[in-house]
Amino acid sequence: MNSIKIETIHYSLNYGNFRAIEDISIKIPEKQVTALIGPSGCGKSTFLRSFNRMNDLIPGVTTEGEILLDGEDIFKMDPVSLRQRVGMVFQKPNPFPKSIYDNVAYGPRVNGLKDHKKLDEIVERSLRGAALWDEVKDNLNKSGLALSGGQQQRLCIARALAVEPSVILMDEPAASLDPIATLRIEDLIRMLVENYTIVIVTHNMQQAGRVSDYTAFFFTDETRTGRLVEYDRTQVIFTNPKDKRTEDYITGRFG
């Protein structure tokens, strides 16, 4: 196993009185793709959004336990600098209503970079990194919203890359895309994992199988509180799961 990038220790999260996830301990290896799977409502997004403290925005959220990034407690970090280190790609592509260039340059700019040359460089590098450069290099001033759904999602990935994070979180990044665009995103994820630690939520078992190195299976019962059932190499989870519920879910018995 690679070195540990993120570690959660007995982590729980409540939305007000409702306990959404409970007692999750997991070690996410560096420069690997880790997939979070499980039925709807079991807390995958909630867990994923914990890594860059996006849940801080929701009033009434309380947490217990610890989350460590490179061994450092993220709840003791400044959320702004945490989010520069942990980027995020959302389920629905959400480019800003700005030009392609301005979308990608947004992160470096808010971080104080003004040098045009450097910005140009970063924009090109990030767009190349997101496998979008060849398609948009002549139209960098076009609105990001004018791209196709798949292109928009890759733009959002490029935008995240431009901040130079070390971790990228993806919440069902291909859920709103057609099969071909989905495949491109999956290729891209495999390409990015050379340099980044990636955590991805997906409902698509084949996709989890194709892109991830590790898989965490979450489940919930009548209490609706999500728990981690099983976590292992993807290969193991898919061919030789230890828990009956994992097997049932993977073989599609839960629907």
Partner 1 sequence: MQRRYRIDKGIKYLLFFSAIVSIIIVFLIFFFIFQSSLPAFQQIGLRNILLETTWRPTNGQYGILAMIVGSVMVTFMAIVMGVPLALGAAIFLAEVAPRAVQNVFRSAIQLLAGIPSVVYGLFGMVVLVPIVRRIPVPGNSGYGLLSAAIVLAVMILPTITSVTEDALRAVPRSYKEASLALGATHWQTIIHVMIPAAKSGIIAALILGVGRAIGETMAMIMVIGNSVIMPTPLTDNPLTIFLRQARTLTGNIAVEINYATGLHESMLFATGVVLFILIMIINASAHLILRNGERS
Partner 2 sequence: MNQAESNASSTVQSAAQKQPNRSNLKQRHLSQKFAFGALWVGGALVMLILLVVVGYVITNGIREVTWEFLTTAPRGGLSGEGGISTTIVSTVYLIGLTIVIATPLGIGAAIFLTEYAGETNVGSKFLRSLIDLVHFGVETLAGIPSIIFGLFGFALFVSVLHFGFSLLSAGLAGACLVLPTIIRTTEESLLTVPMSYREASLALGATKWQTIYQVVLPAAIPGIITGIILSVARVISETAVFYVTLGGSARMPTSIFSSGRTLALHLYYLAMDTNAFDKAMATGAVLIISIILINLIIDFVSSKLTAGLRENQ
Among 57, 76, 134, 194, binds partner 1 (CB under 8 A): 57
109/125 with CB nearer partner 1: 109
Site residues (CB under 8 A) for partner 2?
31, 70, 78, 80-81, 84-85, 110-112, 125-126, 128-129, 131, 133-134, 161, 164-166, 187-188, 191-192, 194-196
Among 43, 107, 129, 209, binds partner 1 (CB under 8 A): 107
Footprint on residues 29-68 left by ligand ATP (CB under 6 A): 40-46, 58
CB of 128 to partner 2, least distance (A): 4
- Pick the stretch among 21-29, 155-163, 186-194, 239-247 that binds partner 1 (CB under 8 A): 155-163
CB of 102 to Mg ion, least distance (A): 28
Among 13, 37, 156, 200, binds partner 1 (CB under 8 A): 156
CB of 112 to ligand ATP, least distance (A): 32
The H-assigned helical ranges of 130-243 are 133-136, 149-161, 179-192, 205-211, 234-239
Q: Find all residues with CB under 8 Å of 67, minimum gap 6, and list them.
A: 6, 7, 8, 9, 11, 50, 51, 73, 74, 75
User: Across the strands, what pairs with 226?
Assistant: 21, 220
The H-assigned helical ranges of 57-99 are 79-85
Buried b (16+ CB within 10 A) or exposed e, 61-96: bebebebbbeeeebeebeeeebbbbbbbbbeebebe
Footprint on residues 204-243 left by ligand ATP (CB under 6 A): 224
